[in-house]
């Protein structure tokens, strides 16, 4: 199977972290292609930045359409995920969605560790959209300005572990979700140093997407995830315009 992993921000250093964890997780024979957004911001913290990242992700998915069996939206907060699920005829998963599903099977209550306090509101809304807010104990984050988005794991290693211990000891978390593509792979590195299971969004997404591809689910032709209707449009990138205009609509 072929999986396209899209980094919705412009940081190549983050794409390399995503790729490393995706390759470590993928089954033998699974092909992983990581693509970085061609426009946007270095890392996503806000709702507006997520809006930009979601559009960039849709453009990348359209550009590579026909060359993959499934797509990962590789930013915590899942920018554009629901709309891209509508558009594409293959399974699409996001880091948050996948991490939450994994955490929900490993324990009753989970906490999220994030790289920025500004990001908390958006993350909380993402959890609420998944109808799992009652199982979220807390979101704790780094408070310091980030020096380099590609070296967050190294720059704040001890602080991140301290936050993980705090959500267990003080907040009662059964499972810890390490949030954000810049922290991809950290859960694998520190899992033996923590007292509860630790979940990584990239590894969760790859594993779940492989399962969905094997299940070969039918594309919805009714309901809220039916493909968008063909409409007049203007100013869209050619691959996205072509995808929106030529894909079969409402066919059984």
- For the stretch 11-40, pLDDT in tens is 999 999 999 999 999 999 999 999 999 999
Which whole number is the average pLDDT over 168-174? Answer: 97
Average pLDDT, the chain: 94
CA distance 137 to 112: 8
Ramachandran sector of residue 214 (left: φ over 0; alpha: ψ -120 to 50; beta: rest) = alpha
Q: Look at the pTM and tell me if it is higher than 0.85.
A: yes
**pLDDT attached to residue 248:** 53
pLDDT more than 90, % of the chain? 87
What average pLDDT does the segment 52-74 reach?
A: 97
Is residue 55's pLDDT more than 50? yes
Q: Which pLDDT band, with edges at 50, 70 and 90, does 250 fall under? A: very low
pLDDT at 2 > cutoff 90: yes
């Amino acid at each position: 199977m072929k999986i396209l992993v899209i980094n919705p921000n412009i940081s190549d250093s983050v794409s390399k972290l995503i790729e490393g964890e995706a390759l470590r997780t993928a089954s033998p024979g699974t092909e992983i292609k990581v693509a970085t957004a061609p426009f946007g911001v270095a890392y996503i913290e806000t709702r507006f930045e997520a809006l930009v990242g979601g559009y960039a992700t849709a453009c990348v998915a359209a550009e590579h359409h026909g060359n993959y069996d499934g797509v990962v939206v590789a930013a915590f907060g899942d920018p554009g995920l629901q709309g891209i699920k509508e558009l594409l005829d293959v399974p699409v998963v996001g880091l948050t969605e996948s991490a939450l599903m994994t955490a929900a099977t490993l324990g009753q209550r989970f906490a999220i560790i994030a790289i920025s306090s500004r990001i908390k509101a958006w993350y909380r809304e993402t959890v609420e959209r998944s109808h799992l807010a009652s199982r979220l104990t807390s979101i704790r984050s780094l408070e310091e300005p980030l020096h380099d988005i590609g070296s967050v794991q190294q720059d704040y290693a001890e602080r991140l572990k301290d936050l993980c211990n705090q959500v267990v000891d003080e907040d009662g978390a059964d499972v810890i979700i390490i949030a954000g593509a810049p922290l991809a792979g950290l859960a694998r590195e520190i899992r033996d140093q923590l007292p509860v299971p630790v979940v990584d969004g990239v590894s969760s997404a790859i594993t779940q997407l492989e399962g969905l591809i094997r299940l070969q689910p039918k594309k919805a032709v009714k309901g809220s995830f039916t493909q968008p209707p063909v409409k007049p449009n203007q100013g869209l990138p050619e691959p996205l315009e072509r995808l929106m205009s030529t894909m079969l609509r409402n066919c059984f």
